[in-house]
Chains A and B, each alone.
Chain A
């Protein structure tokens, strides 16, 4: 097990390094630079050039990369080129919106996908089961923007239950307000992503119902439901855990769209405007942090998988 974890950690470090190079390099392909944006349509070419010099944009790319990654390894994400604010403190501020939003949407995803997925598989032959499956196909095909507008129309404009945009100025100091303002966005991405996970849960459950050990359990006198719950679902859980890692990444992408739509000051909104301003140090640090989170989650899922699943553990300890 230890060897396995060390190996995973090594792989993680390698993947992280490759990711950092990719992030750095691909951002440099974008045309236009921040000096130009700061100078705008008023600045003379000489002024823009001076600004480039001052911001260190004229230095060789390799040196810029080494500086950046060196800083990151010392937990210094650097400063925004445009506003001069510390990137880490801004990330923390924006994360106050995005992380609860992601967790809430993940909760929606699970609340939708797990019970309905198992139900649809368990009652696969009934009309209701088929209906649930069909509506999930429909839901997963809805664009986030449209779902958001629909949600706003019904829950906010007609019923007046939820605010349709914005996040309280003072953040979580008024938790009720903050929570309320995230419900609609979380439902919007949660339901759509949930529909995707639903299909996975359903097919995994169907396979489980058909699996030998479940049938054995049934032949031992357990009801079909009981056999499914006690013997089938633990296996389903494993594949769902690995799927959840991917799902979390998808939720972050969904957050970019949904934050714009609901005017939430989160990481997604920040990334969009930073790219628009070519504040590359901030964009690359933000992306690297997000990538790290996803990579670490992936590795954790692997490890958890191994701990839970006796078959994998047996292989590893030969």
Chain B
């Protein structure tokens, strides 16, 4: 563009109004659309007299297949509410067994091999079919196998309302298994289509699973027992603790189970909610790989256990924990207070490590990444005090299952053992603990074979004492989660809610 160019000729452009007009139309349209939207779709409120309760849970089931899904989340929602067994767990307890679909506790033969159950009559499945002895035989025959529960059982029909379970050897775990997911009675014993649906005999029938969000259950009109009080129960899932707190405050859920302990402060002094601690069988376990050096030396394991201050750990959980010295928690048979065994003593721990020639230990703790890290941080700093450097390796749960659980490739593992009555893991040298003590295995086997509850508990207790001395793991604490319950709700279970949340007797104003 040089200055010497001839002047261009042009005509003045006309002012076009088009852009302005289009802009105005768009804006007016948008406002009208939004206004219409808000006006036409205002929610109707007040007309609904249905009693509904919404319960927040942390974990969503991966699948609804009660038999084959390993996580506790499936049972937490479905057992007691939708699915029932011949026997169940007494409300308010962790391990006491009561009859459910059986009219009374079974008659057990003198040799402890035969359990005879009388079936309740007038029980219907949610599909409408009547419960028959055939359903029981089919369900239990498929479930009571060595692969699934550790022993085989034959299940026979005696007459239309009597069923007999026959064992090859006496087994004190039978009733416990029958009260859990292995014992649920399915129509025709079938599990077809039950990955994303459910059909049981409980007080609630399955209505809908909106994956990633909620499971809805409706009161079952033809329930054989005392009908549920609420018309509808919705379980909503909150992997993000903050969202659960917001949902409670918004009134979107009435109860939240297992509130993260750092969030307790949100509800301190809030008159609309009550915080209730629930006993549970959850044991946060720091397992040592006993099959691998240097943990194959009991002195090393004991030293590590002695380095850890249980009281301080419990304090780190804002009170949502109980100190524990035993692999068995207080509500289970065989519990004995063993907190004095290998109790906190950093001096002795250092001496033991020196004696074992392991003064400069450097370890890795493999842990699934969804746990609160307060306890682990404390463990590593306590280990550092006796000269052990521990590094935490957080992994996804499938990775933990692969590396630690299947391949036994780890030094230390930090994980919550949520199952009750799982002492057998310490009597199984093939388990990831790698702990192999023939005496423990003998005592455990005897406890299983015992037909007397008192004798069984005594044997378990003896085994637990030896295990505690041997220190294949440190039982950091028994987790007693806090449930936040709206004051509108009454009758919400206060025990074992990490494993099952029975809503049958729950009401809401």
Contact = CB atoms under 8 A, between A and B. Distances in A.
Given A164-B246, A169-B214, A269-B212, A83 B401 contact: no
A164 B246 CA distance: 6
B62 A277 contact: yes
Interface stretch (A43-51, A122-130, A192-200, A201-209): A43-51
B240 A40 contact: no
B86 to A, nearest CB: 21
B339 interface: no
Given A32-B402, A36-B402, A84 B195 contact: yes
Nearest to A90: B211
Interface in A140-185: 149, 152, 156-157, 163-167, 169, 174-177, 179
Nearest to B247: A165
Interface stretch (B37-45, B103-111, B312-320): B37-45
Interface stretch (B68-76, B381-389, B479-487, B494-502): B68-76
A149 B241 CA distance: 12
Nearest to B403: A31
Contact of A164 (B216, B236, B250): B250
A126 B391 CA distance: 54
Interface in B193-228: 193, 195-196, 210-214, 216
B243 A163 contact: no
A177 B212 contact: no
A39 B403 CA distance: 15
B260 interface: no
B64 interface: yes
B242 A42 contact: no
Given A46-B147, A176-B41, A262-B243, A85 B70 contact: no
B396 interface: yes
B127 interface: no
Interface in A224-276: 229-230, 260-263, 265-266, 269-270, 273, 275-276
A83 B64 contact: yes
B12 A261 contact: no
Given A82-B195, A261-B242, A174 B43 contact: yes
Contacts of B212: 94, 265-266, 269-270, 273
Nearest to B34: A179
Contact of A37 (B62, B239, B403): B62
A30 interface: yes
A157 B405 CA distance: 43
Contact of B236 (A38, A166, A277): A166
Nearest to B214: A169
B246 A31 contact: no
Interface in B400-424: 400-403, 405-406, 419
B398 A149 contact: no
Nearest to B398: A32
A254 B396 CA distance: 21
A220 interface: yes
A145 B252 CA distance: 21
Interface in B447-501: none
A26 interface: no
A179 B398 contact: no
B252 A169 contact: no
Interface string B8-40: 001011001001000000000000000001100
B62 A82 contact: yes
Nearest to B193: A84
Nearest to B56: A263
A263 B398 contact: no
Given A42-B70, A179-B37, A276-B397, A221 B12 contact: yes
Contacts of B399: 30-32
A156 B69 contact: no
B406 to A, nearest CB: 6
A176 B70 contact: no
A37 B398 contact: yes
A263 B401 contact: no
Interface string A84-125: 110000100110000000000000000000000000000000
B398 A169 contact: no
B141 interface: no
A40 B422 CA distance: 14
Contacts of A38: 62-63, 68-70
Contact of B402 (A33, A44, A276, A277): A33
B114 interface: no
A166 B247 CA distance: 8
B254 interface: no
Given A36-B406, A169-B234, A176-B42, A276 B243 contact: no
B238 interface: yes
Contacts of A93: 210-211
A2 interface: no
Contacts of A177: 43
B282 interface: no
Contact of A85 (B1, B196, B234): B196
B60 interface: yes
Given A169-B216, A260-B243, 14 more contacts: A37-B70, A41-B405, A164-B243, A165-B243, A165-B247, A169-B213, A175-B37, A176-B43, A220-B10, A222-B13, A261-B242, A273-B212, A276-B396, A276-B397
Interface of A: 30-34, 36-48, 82-85, 90, 93-94, 149, 152, 156-157, 163-167, 169, 174-177, 179, 212, 220-222, 229-230, 260-263, 265-266, 269-270, 273, 275-278
- In order of increasing CB-CB distance, the 8 nearest A-B pairs are A40-B70, A32-B398, A265-B213, A176-B41, A263-B243, A32-B402, A164-B246, A265-B212
28 contacts: A30-B396, A30-B399, A36-B398, A42-B419, A83-B62, A83-B211, A85-B196, A157-B246, A163-B250, A164-B250, A165-B246, A165-B247, A166-B236, A169-B213, A169-B216, A175-B37, A175-B41, A176-B37, A176-B38, A179-B37, A212-B1, A262-B243, A263-B238, A270-B211, A273-B212, A275-B396, A276-B396, A278-B398
